Structure 1
Amino acid sequence: MKNRHFALLYLALFLILAKLSPFIITALVMGLYLSIIVDYVARFLGLFIKKPRSLSRVLANVLIFLMIAYSAVNFFPVIIKEAQRVFSEIDRVRTGLENMEIPEWVSSIISNISASFSEGALSLVNRIVGYVPSFITAAVLIVITSFIVSSLKKLVKENVSYLFPKDPEDGKRFLKTTYSEFERFVGGQVLVAIFVGVFVGVGAFLFRIPSAFFLGMLAFITDFVPYLGVIISAIPLLMLSFSVHGLYGLLIGTIILVAANQLEMWILAPRIQSSALNIHWFIILITILIFGDLFSFGGVLIALPFLIFLRNYWKHYVMGG
């Protein structure tokens, strides 16, 4: 019980650092996520690769990083290429409307909407370009963190007496339980992400939407970002659907995304949350929204670790469980 103040102190320091240095903390958390994902993939490969034991871990790292690199390399070219097609289609529609006898105020509204859309897209591109140096730094930190998490766990275990000087064994149990719960949640999320990726990829293939493999891979990768991931994967899917099938394609793409999201939210995710977190989905949603507002993008990622830490703290130090 004497360690409760130290646990709260570390939580407060983490939140302060997340506020003051969001890119660094977000990269570290993403590296932690990635390390756990690699561990689960390595365990799966270990069922088929018995010797040497290290080979499954190496292959898991290569596989995961190739998937991430493939998604990242293809994301921006697809967005830029399809954005040009969308702008061309908008210009074509606007030109056709201008040749028709329509009220001037309708034509003015259409022109303003088109101009606003173009300015917004340009502003978004400029913001992304401005963040490129920070993205590169974050990417390096993510890779480094994912490789040294096992060493960091060993370091913390060996020096837990400095972190919880009042009762090191109690502090070790608290940290081990908290990390195990988070690890179990991420492991379950791997299964959900696989389902979402396959569902989106197969759906795109069946409806003849280009780059179906890329769309499925992107849906798998971004599914680890709660709620925000579906928005990231929706952008290229809807743009590709529209460029090939027009408004009908937008409807198809929307149906694929909504179906995958609803199946995840109402069937798969609740089971994982009940076994790993035992926290109501509405509390999780509100926490993610609040943290997203407080800490921007990084808040979406640290919301669940925060909930797990807080829940375990309450059970361990307040209720004495």
Structure 2
Amino acid sequence: MTDLRWQMLALFVLLTAALYFLAPVLTPFAVAAMFAYLFDPLANRLERLKLSRAAAVSIVFLALTLLVLLILLLLIPYLSRQVAAFINHLPQWIGWVQTVALPWLSARFDLNLEMPDVQQLTAALQEHWKEAGGVAATVVAQISKSGFALLSWITRLVVVPVAFFYLLRDWPLMVKQIHDLLPRSVEPTVSRLAREADETLSAFVRGQLSVMIALGAIYAIGLWAVGIDVGPLIGLIAGLISFVPYLGSIIGILMGVIAALVQYGDWLHVVLVAIVFVTGQLLEGYVLVPRMVGEKIGLHPLAVIFAVLAGGELFGFLGVLLALPFTSVLIVVLRYAYARYRASELYHTEASALNPYAEPAPQIIMPEPVATADAKEAAAPPKPPLGEA
């Protein structure tokens, strides 16, 4: 058993070192594996329709390719215009905060609030945004100076879809092979923990990602219907950061209220913005989360934030990609260790058994009950009947 533990420790050290030194090479494969994990259930559903695995994976791959092309052709130019409009409106927002919001707060709550000087930051954002095409051309020129760097960049870009296709096609086979490689002594425990980790990870990644996209669409369409110029961009931002409870709605409603006041200057549009986000919160709590996440226990938002930051600090972009899978496995292992501890003798052993110098627990001696007259009469031997004495 001791040799096995040392072997497991050595294997863990080797894997960690490989991740650290081969992070740039492993990154495209990690991205492909993430997409394969996300879309494996869809391929499984197509297989249930009497399709082969190769045909199901081909359909998923073609559908995703068309979706990516559609996003590149339609969504990215629209978002680019939204970001440009947002930066153009930013000076008006800052001016409204300086001239209206801060004086009102100071007068109402007797606060001495000062707005930091962000005019230079706004001007810099506008200047760099106008020069975005030049910046992109400069970056491409710098990359193209080194033929090896350009070739490496193109290779990694091409590796992602190719590796995604093959990983998605062979995903069930790889899972079976990993299962067969497990030592038979730990196979039942490891398989159960792997299923729990998959449920935990899928509850967050698949479920929460679906909720984020749905909320972003609801907020974007709602603010667009209200008439906010940069409403779709605000809605998408609020939806993408909604994995932290209430953070997306709070930031979204603050940005939406400021945009409504600056653009219209009335309370009607403020109320409409609030209605959009309240509706989104109600749909999230009563429709989206029950249907897309269900009763599964996902990852805590603080655990997600810490895992992503720690993974990026240790392994760069590869660490960000592996943060959620590693955290889900770690949480399941900690739950298993906690359950084993609660069932162990260490948890149930009395203090006197662990510490021979511990004082024994005092024995409580209950006093004898006081016999009443009725009790004495009941306890006395029965008297013989008359005539038998």
1:312 Cα deviation after fit: 3.4
Q: Among 281, 288, 294, which residue is 2:308 paired with?
A: 288
Q: Among 93, 112, 120, which residue is 1:112 paired with?
A: 120
Which structure has the greater CA radius of gyration? Answer: 2
The residue number in structure 2 matching 1:65 is 65
Q: Among 156, 163, 167, which residue is 1:145 paired with?
A: 163
The residue number in structure 1 matching 2:41 is 40
Partners of 2:274 and 2:33 in 1: CA distance: 33
The residue number in structure 2 matching 1:199 is 218
- Taking structure 1 as the reference length, the TM-score comes to 0.58
Change (3 A) 1:195 1:159: closer
The residue number in structure 2 matching 1:158 is 177
For the pair 1:169 / 2:187, whether they are aligned, the reply is yes
Change (3 A) 1:26 1:74: farther
The residue number in structure 2 matching 1:302 is 322
* Higher helix proportion (structure 1 or 2): 1
What one-letter code is carried by the residue in structure 2 that aligns with 1:195? A
Q: Residues 18 and 26 of structure 1 are in contact (CA less than 8 Å); yes or no, is this contact kept in structure 2?
A: no
* Structure possessing the higher relative contact order (Cα contacts under 8 Å, 6 or more residues apart): 1
Q: Residues 174 and 316 of structure 1 are in contact (CA less than 8 Å); yes or no, is this contact kept in structure 2?
A: no
Deviations for 1:108-132, whole angstroms, at most 9, x for unmatched residues?
A: x676344433466589874897488
For the pair 1:248 / 2:263, whether they are aligned, the reply is yes
1:305 Cα deviation after fit: 0.5
Partners of 1:27 and 1:259 in 2: CA distance: 39
1:193 Cα deviation after fit: 4.0
1:306 Cα deviation after fit: 0.9
The farther-off stretch of 261-270 and 111-120 is 261-270
Mapping for residues 1-321 of structure 1, pairs under 5 Å: 15-42=16-43, 50-52=49-51, 57-74=57-74, 76-78=76-78, 80-82=80-82, 112-118=120-126, 121=129, 126=135, 130=139, 137-150=155-168, 151=170, 153-155=172-174, 157-158=176-177, 164=182, 167=185, 169=187, 173=191, 176-177=194-195, 180-181=198-199, 182-183=201-202, 185-189=204-208, 191-208=210-227, 223=240, 247-248=262-263, 272=293, 275-277=296-298, 279-314=299-334
Q: Residues 31 and 142 of structure 1 are in contact (CA less than 8 Å); yes or no, is this contact kept in structure 2?
A: yes
The farther-off stretch of 53-62 and 145-154 is 53-62
Change (3 A) 1:211 1:112: closer
The residue number in structure 2 matching 1:101 is none
Deviations for 1:76-133, whole angstroms, at most 9, x for unmatched residues?
A: 534554555566678999xxxxxxxxxxxxxxx6763444334665898748974886
Partners of 2:9 and 2:280 in 1: CA distance: 35
Q: Residues 284 and 304 of structure 1 are in contact (CA less than 8 Å); yes or no, is this contact kept in structure 2?
A: yes
- SS for the counterpart of 1:275 is coil
Change (3 A) 1:9 1:42: same
Identity between Structure 1 and Structure 2 (%): 19
Partners of 2:83 and 2:311 in 1: CA distance: 31
Partners of 2:242 and 2:154 in 1: CA distance: 19
Q: Residues 82 and 230 of structure 2 are in contact (CA less than 8 Å); yes or no, is this contact kept in structure 1?
A: no
**How many aligned positions are there?**
291
Partners of 1:122 and 1:76 in 2: CA distance: 16
Deviations for 1:22-60, whole angstroms, at most 9, x for unmatched residues?
A: 45444333323322332334456678xx35466655443
Q: Residues 36 and 167 of structure 2 are in contact (CA less than 8 Å); yes or no, is this contact kept in structure 1?
A: yes
What one-letter code is carried by the residue in structure 1 that aligns with 2:29? L
Structure 1 unmatched ranges of 5 or more: 94-108
Partners of 2:16 and 2:277 in 1: CA distance: 33
Structure 2 unmatched ranges of 5 or more: 94-116, 144-149, 344-389
Q: Over the residues paired in the alignment, what is the CA RMSD in angstroms?
A: 5.7
Q: Residues 243 and 301 of structure 2 are in contact (CA less than 8 Å); yes or no, is this contact kept in structure 1?
A: no
